[in-house]
Chains A and B, each alone.
Chain A
Amino acid sequence: MTRLIKYLRPYVWWILLIVLLLFGQAMADLSLPTYMSDIVNVGIQQNGIQNAVPKAIRPTEFKRLAIFMTEADRAEVSAAYSLVDESALSPSEYASLVKKYPLLATSQLYVLQEVSKSQIERLNQIFMLTMPVVAGIEQNGASALAASGLTIPEGVDPFNFIAQLPAEQLAALQNLISDQSSTVASSLLKQYSVAYVSAEYKAIGVDLGGRRMAYMWHIGLIMLGLAFAGALASVTVGLISARIAAGLGRDLRRRQFERVQSFSAAEFDKFSTASLITRSTNDITQIQMLMVMLFRFVFYAPILGIGAVIKVFSLDRSMLWIIAAVVSVMIVLIGVLFFVAIPKFRIMQRLMDRLNLVTREFISGLMVIRAFNTQKAAEKKFDVANVELTDVSLFVNRVMAFLFPMMMLIMNGTMLLIIWVGAHQVDRSAMQVGDMMATMQYTMQIIFAFIMISMVFIMIPRASVSAVRVTEVIDTEPSIKDPVKAAKFKEGLKGVVEFQDVSFRYPGAEEDVLKHVSFTAKLGQTTAFIGSTGSGKSTLVNMILRFYDATEGRVLVDGMDVRDVTQHDLRDKIGYVPQQAVLFSGTIESNIKYGNQEASRAEVEKFADIAQATEFISTSDKDYAMTVAQGGANLSGGQKQRLSIARALAKKPEIFIFDDSFSALDFKTDVALRKALKQETGEATVLIVTQRVGQIMGADQIVVLEDGRVAGIGTHLELMKDSEVYREIALSQLSKEELSA
């Protein structure tokens, strides 16, 4: 995975933006439960009254409260409220206030002024100390003060009595109340106070239902706003991560493609073509998928999880142990899944491959199976693979069937636990009902984050394998490179290929493929290479094209070491017809013109004619515009070979290389083709690799290779006389009479 980081560098600012947006999304996601708890706590439970600071209060009550305040507090409260009646207000102000506080019509009221937030907070603290006391006395009479040791005579208004107490005694009482209050949870004090405010509002005639709905709407809109912001953040993250993932995929694909194009045969041997294709396609798609997952889940889960823990922490710490417990249970469950199910998944994948293999063998061997009457054995073999796969997949499916209800049980159980513990907390006034509900939500978020992370743990290994496979290719330096200071071919010398004591060994191999090979091929001559498979013929011609570099010795083309010129210049001189005729999608014409875009139509036709391709081309109603499918799949081997020859001809090179290029042609075409070729290539150097003695008996020079050594050089007749190896090859193919013809 770390190997991918450097390719993500261009996107680093975008990734930072994603993280920021995810923080935003997490904040939105996490505050939503808070607002929900507000709706329950404040909206429903407290009639929309948020704190103990009343907006308006009757003078009698105001005075009662003032009794229990210290001097400084009283001053602060008095400053925040002003006593109003009709005379003190303009008619319009008065009308609107009467509407809000109907009691104002008949009596004076203290109304809260415009005050700052911090002031509200201070007022809240003051009221929360005094309101419960006043409320207590109002409801239960003087007995509410029993703890203070004060005895208030029967029939005397307790408030009047206390108000007339000496200053010292009053101060003592105030201290006592303050001490007592500090032992009671503030949330309880708040609830008492809010209940008092609520009662006061009712007395003033405030429309409590209206207040409550206004509050609900207010919070509801905030929630919607947050949800919208969260969704917006999430969509934006989606947008950016989609672009980064696709962009990374594009970059990797391009880098890899460029790199692979510069590979020489050695690298292709190392990776194998099929594997390189998979690496450029499937593996990169995998990485792209992983990136999206990474940004959306891997980054998000910890942010969300930690955020939720912090929230719970701030709400009520007594619940933390529940979260710890649930998370541990989840870890155990996921761990069991990891250690029990995941290995089984791998086994299942292997058995699936096995079943595929058996089926493939089954189908490809259909004729043999029937010829040997072994249908039953084949079915048996398939059945074994089938049973094995079925057993494991049954196990896996059952584990999965267990997992889901188990998860549900854990989560539902958690809810119940939170309710039960929460109820006791509420009873002790340590928390409010809404907070308990918010805790539930946060716990779910934490669990969810855990599940997300564990999912990713399962996915990452798969994708990181792809990442390694892709970067491996990109990081591989091609073994054959152009020289830093490339020389140019000299004018004059043309069509000369010379091997000077050349040896070649595949990297890591124990033995040389070519050993001390020397020969010279001259302009206008045909040089043939013959030998059994593995004798190094193809390797030899590949060295002329510089697909391989000599381990020892030098390969010279037109007097220049092939390593001293650019590959482009070198290959410009060569018309190569490979063993496997490869065509590209396009038309017949585009394929013939592949090496020479400037070739005229007349030339194209001429070369097709020489390559004996005219016959089949003319049978197509589209002629030279006939479509060639990818890899030439719609053409037969012989047709492909003929076009591949025409393509090399069209390049009009100095040197022709035919690497076993006539194998797919029937005898007749083969002969006609070589006759025509002879005329066309008369001016050029021709190198032919073949297995058929018949094809090269007329060559100017035959190089016989055995086990990488030159076992003889000469004409057919010379070699028949001198070379044991050549004679053996020739006799295995043709009769004595034919050879002497």
Chain B
Amino acid sequence: MSQNGRMGDPGAPRPMAGIGPMGGRGGPMQGGPMAALMPGGKAKDFRKTLRTFLTYLKPYRLQLVLVLLFSIASTAFAIVGPKLLGKATTRLFEGVVAKAMHVPGAAIDFDYIGRIVLLLVGLYVMSAILGWVQGFIMAGIATKITYTFRRNIAEKINRLPLKYFDTQTHGEVLSRVTNDVDIINTTLTQNLSMMISSVVMIIGVLIMMLSISWLMTLVALVILPISLLFIRFIVKFSQGYFRAQQEYLGHMNGHVEEMFGGQVVVRSFNGEERSLQKFNRLNTELYKSGWKSQFLSGMMIPVMMFVSNLGYVAVVILGGYLAAVGTIGVGDILAFIQYVRQFTMPIMQVANATNVLQSTAAAAERVFEFLGEPEEVPESARPVKVEAVRGNVIFDHVHFGYDPEKPVIHDFSTDIKPGQRVAIVGPTGAGKTTIVKLLMRFYDVNGGAILIDGVNIREMRREDLRRMFGMVLQDTWLFNGTFRENISYGKLDASDEQVIAAAKMAHVDRFIRTQPHGYDTEINEESSNISQGQKQLLTIARAFLADPKMLILDEATSSVDTRTEVLIQRAMAQLMKDRTSFIIAHRLSTIRDAETILVMRDGDIVEQGKHVDLLAANGFYASLYKSQFEAIEAQ
């Protein structure tokens, strides 16, 4: 009995919901009564989120009203069905009984039954059409809103200050675009109309049941609190195991990740046995909590079915009595039974809806929070444009800290003449890129000013400022696209000739031509089909093409082979000619030739000057430099 009649309910779980949007979170554990078992997030400010969300729905007001109306109508038609069907059955039954009793002229009233059947065909078809139209409109609204959310997030990313990404991992931002928006999408397409029809269903069915027999309705309703009690009990019990399961799964995955990632160490230190012991312990714990949570959540359906059967039998017996007494017809019992069946599902759905709404609200809140983050300082009202950039850069008492409370650059001043070469040196993690970030105005200084050709960079438009610089970072950024697309990123409207010329200057033309499709060869998603050195050459080509007035370069460290290294050096030297250049330097030759050396330590500029002067000063730079020689002597 567990399934009979259920498929006949408009409120029954959508049979295809399991393969719903395969947006990554499909899985058999989603939706239905199971969802109640998953501890989900909660919105901090539900009302505010809802209000914001409603503004997104506003353009679709009319359509939403239609959806509501259609949904009500569709459900209502479906509700009337069993009642009418019951009438037909009663009439059929009466005919049969009359015939059995040899009532003269007794016959089954096929006219009447036929009329009802036809009427029902009409109703069901109408209900289906309305349901479909409703779903069709809703799908449209949901996808459009989803699209808008994603677009807004993408645009927002561009307007956020870089600072924001210091505190957020890329994964978190990514999860807003995909997971959170997806949750909203699913709720809108599936759950929302389901909730509407569930509520209509509950009200409608209640009315219909009451119209048949208030006594039977009362009996049927008694079942509800019992069901809820059971659900609560199971949820309470299993949630603990679910948490334990998630926890051990986390531990287990962590251990696997750690051991596989450190396989070389595990094996070279003969640590296999210990690793396996820990694994077995975690695995056993995972097994225990795993089967328990699975079992308990799986108990939900059979237990609910039994409780519903309990109600069913009670209704049947009571109905049988009432029918025998003659209070109601046989068909009414049938109709009532159908209604009882239809009653449980929407109730469960509405109970579950609170959970769904909570997690959707939480997702929406995260999206809105992101969209509400403070943006970059607006552009200057009267931006100054520097014509014919010479490349004079002045740091005037610059004061900066990622966290204003903890300044890393205290009071830095220097005057860099056009065409000069500035080497930034210091140990790893000393904050060499901070200078770069300030120059490009990814961050704004907290005090003092940076002037280019005498103009404070805050008075320029960011776009104009950044156009003056070319940037070649060690952390090369290539995207999934062709070589041509990647090079022309420096100048989107560049002609093929220009792209090739830039590639030639960067000494990467030959390499590209040896690739299967030359300039149209795709660089794959992880850019793993080209070496680190070639990547660097490509970004140099990009900078050549952009033809900037000033340069920011990051020298390669160890991961490039000698020959490519020579090529890179040559290309960089070519690029730096007559351009004011900032070089994050690792090579002593570069450092010695620089007009200015900025020595950084722990995020601060501790010394600046020429190589010879700095050596003479016998400070941090001198000790850094001398250590090279000590190194040699030590061996």
List the one stretch of A109-117, A145-153, A370-378, A617-625 in contact with chain B: A370-378
A108 at interface, CB cutoff 8 A: no
Chain B residues with Cβ below 8 Å from A373 are 463, 466-467
- Minimum CB–CB distance from B16 to chain A (whole Å) comes to 6
Chain B residues with Cβ below 8 Å from A386 are 147, 150-151, 154
Residue of B nearest to A36 (CB): B316
The B-contacting residues of A in range 399-448, CB under 8 angstroms, are 400-409, 411-413, 415-416, 419-420, 423-424, 426-427, 432-433, 437, 441-442, 444-445, 447-448
A-B contact pairs, 6 of them (CB 8 A): A224-B313, A250-B287, A352-B178, A371-B440, A532-B562, A584-B265
Chain A residues with Cβ below 8 Å from B294 are 238, 242, 245-246, 292
Given A195-B100, A250-B283, A638-B428, A242:B492 Cβ within 8 A: no
B56 at interface, CB cutoff 8 A: no
B64 at interface, CB cutoff 8 A: no
Q: Are B587 and A733 in contact (CB under 8 A)?
A: yes
Q: Are A441 and B96 in contact (CB under 8 A)?
A: no
A696 at interface, CB cutoff 8 A: yes
Q: Are A361 and B479 in contact (CB under 8 A)?
A: yes
The A-contacting residues of B in range 69-89, CB under 8 angstroms, are 74, 78, 81, 85, 88-89
Q: Tell which of B14, B260, B629 touches A260, judged by Cβ atoms closer than 8 Å.
A: B260
A651 at interface, CB cutoff 8 A: yes
Given A242-B298, A373-B463, A416:B121 Cβ within 8 A: yes
Q: Are B267 and A547 in contact (CB under 8 A)?
A: yes
A710 at interface, CB cutoff 8 A: no
How far is B294's CA from A692's CA once the two chains are assembled, in angstroms? 56
Chain A residues with Cβ below 8 Å from B374 are none
Q: Are B113 and A419 in contact (CB under 8 A)?
A: yes
A557 at interface, CB cutoff 8 A: no
B233 at interface, CB cutoff 8 A: no
Q: Are B154 and A372 in contact (CB under 8 A)?
A: no
Q: Are A408 and B276 in contact (CB under 8 A)?
A: no
B129 at interface, CB cutoff 8 A: yes
Q: Tell which of B7, B113, B563 touches A448, judged by Cβ atoms closer than 8 Å.
A: B7
Q: Are A534 and B561 in contact (CB under 8 A)?
A: yes
List the one stretch of A85-93, A176-184, A570-578 in contact with chain B: A570-578
Q: Are B256 and A409 in contact (CB under 8 A)?
A: no
Q: Are A441 and B320 in contact (CB under 8 A)?
A: no
Q: Tell which of B28, B114, B268, B428 touches A666, judged by Cβ atoms closer than 8 Å.
A: B428
B-contact bits for A252-277, CB 8 A (1 contact / 0 none) = 01100110111101001000010011
Q: Are B252 and A249 in contact (CB under 8 A)?
A: no
List the one stretch of B469-477, B499-507, B511-519 in contact with chain A: B469-477
Q: Are A379 and B154 in contact (CB under 8 A)?
A: yes
Kindly state the interface size class of chain B when it binds its partner. Answer: 35 or more
Q: Are A230 and B8 in contact (CB under 8 A)?
A: no
Given A397-B139, A423-B92, A594-B271, A216:B19 Cβ within 8 A: no
List the one stretch of A3-11, A94-102, A388-396 in contact with chain B: A388-396
Chain A residues with Cβ below 8 Å from B271 are 594-595
Q: Are B128 and A408 in contact (CB under 8 A)?
A: yes
Residue of A nearest to B93 (CB): A433
Count of chain A residues near B, Cβ 8 A: 195
Q: Are B305 and A231 in contact (CB under 8 A)?
A: yes
Q: Are A420 and B113 in contact (CB under 8 A)?
A: yes
Given A359-B177, A405-B129, A413-B121, A398:B135 Cβ within 8 A: yes
Q: Tell which of B4, B185, B291 touches A33, judged by Cβ atoms closer than 8 Å.
A: B4
Question: What would 7 more interface pairs be, CB under 8 Å, given A223-B313, A373-B467, A401-B189?
Answer: A44-B323, A223-B1, A242-B294, A370-B466, A371-B440, A398-B136, A647-B269
Chain B residues with Cβ below 8 Å from A535 are 561
Q: Are B634 and A678 in contact (CB under 8 A)?
A: yes
How far is B108's CA from A432's CA once the two chains are assembled, in angstroms? 13
Q: Are A235 and B302 in contact (CB under 8 A)?
A: yes
B-contact bits for A313-346, CB 8 A (1 contact / 0 none) = 0000000000000000000000001000000010
The B-contacting residues of A in range 101-153, CB under 8 angstroms, are 135-136, 139-140
Q: Tell which of A216, A246, A361, A441 touches B290, judged by Cβ atoms closer than 8 Å.
A: A246
A204 at interface, CB cutoff 8 A: no
Q: Are A416 and B120 in contact (CB under 8 A)?
A: yes
Q: Are A408 and B18 in contact (CB under 8 A)?
A: no
Q: Are B260 and A277 in contact (CB under 8 A)?
A: yes
B-contact bits for A344-385, CB 8 A (1 contact / 0 none) = 010011001001110111111111111111110111001100
Chain A residues with Cβ below 8 Å from B631 are 667, 670-671, 674, 694-695, 697
The A-contacting residues of B in range 321-365, CB under 8 angstroms, are 321, 323-325, 330, 333-334, 337
Residue of B nearest to A264 (CB): B267
Q: Are B97 and A45 in contact (CB under 8 A)?
A: yes
B529 at interface, CB cutoff 8 A: no
